[in-house]
Amino acid sequence: MKSTVPHLQKGDTVGIVALSSLVEPEKLGEALSFLDDLGLHYIIGDTIQAKHAYLAGSDEMRLTDLHEMVRNPEIKAIFCVKGGYGSARIAEKIDYALFEEHPKIFWGFSDLTYLHCAINEYANLVTFHGPLLMSVERIDELSKRMFLQLFSPIEIQYTEEISPLTTIANGVARGQIIGGNLRRLVSSIGTKFEVRTEGRILLIEEIAESIPRIDSMLQQLKQARKLEQLAGIVIGSFTQTGADEAALLMLMKEYFGELGIPVVAGFKIGHETTNIAIPLGADAILDAQEKVLKILPGVH
């Protein structure tokens, strides 16, 4: 597995950045109150107020903001407040050795999937796929409690007590859990940040993509041979597809049903009010018969 990162303690300082789409800083109140409730202090990055067309500041500004947060020894975690688009634009210029020298929590999802792939591989660190801070007022209490995994090493166990799960293919798999937003994973193909799937458990989730578009992306993963050496597949939330769940499950069975690996759908990981945060790059076990996903802690 990737290297775990130091856990948080009450009173620690964390950094708040926007590495993708521009932010409406006046809407940040709930997010800051939430960090207060966790007992954390925070430093607000320059990108929170910045604007460059549709981005939270120029590429150089977003890159500088990230680097400064990584370098700052006071800052123990970096929380991304918003997704959208833009993180891929800075991936090539990030100094990944800085992350190795100053290992710390990196948290976000959606567009940040691109940086999860990059940091996992080039800094060899666990990162956290969890709700963006701008959305904390829209997530449920269980999802908020998942932030507590940052304060002490906790094994995550996802069972049907959280949500109904559907086994698409049986089996048991062990491997690093990686992945995230399907569109961003597909956009990494052909780049130096291409998602590596060999022997790993792949998480996919998506929002506002039609079934034909999801089909197209799965087809690209297949043709890029990303499905051939997978250990297992965790299907997270696919919201606003314009189709019912049966159509989505049928599509998933077409692509994943005959791979000879465990595949389970229904995980509330993604763009929903329940968004269970997980450490990417950590070792996991997916048991499709028992319908359980266990993930080792991402912090030490």
Active site residues: 110, 205, 271
| DSSP symbol at 5 | B
Concatenate the DSSP letters of all residues of 190-234 into one string: TSTTPPP-TT-EEEEEEES--HHHHHHHHHHHHHTT-STT-SEEE
Angle at 196 between CA 232 and CA 270, to 5 degrees: 60
* Alpha helical stretches, state H, the chain: 29-37, 59-71, 88-91, 96-101, 113-122, 141-145, 182-187, 211-223, 245-256
Neighbours of 184 (CB within 10 A): 25
Site of tokens 């709700």: 131
3-class secondary structure, 78 = strand
Maximum Cα–Cα distance across the chain? 50
Phi-psi region at 234: left, alpha or beta (left = phi > 0; alpha = psi -120 to 50) = beta
Q: Which residues are paired to 265 by β-bridges?
A: 166, 235
Neighbours of 22 (CB within 10 A): 20
Which candidate, 48, 45, 51, places its Cα nearest to that of 78? 45
Tokens representing residue 146 in the block: 């998942």
Which candidate, 148, 174, 145, 177, places its Cα nearest to that of 162? 145
User: Please, how many CA atoms are within 13 Å of residue 56, restricted to the half-sphere of its CB?
Assistant: 29
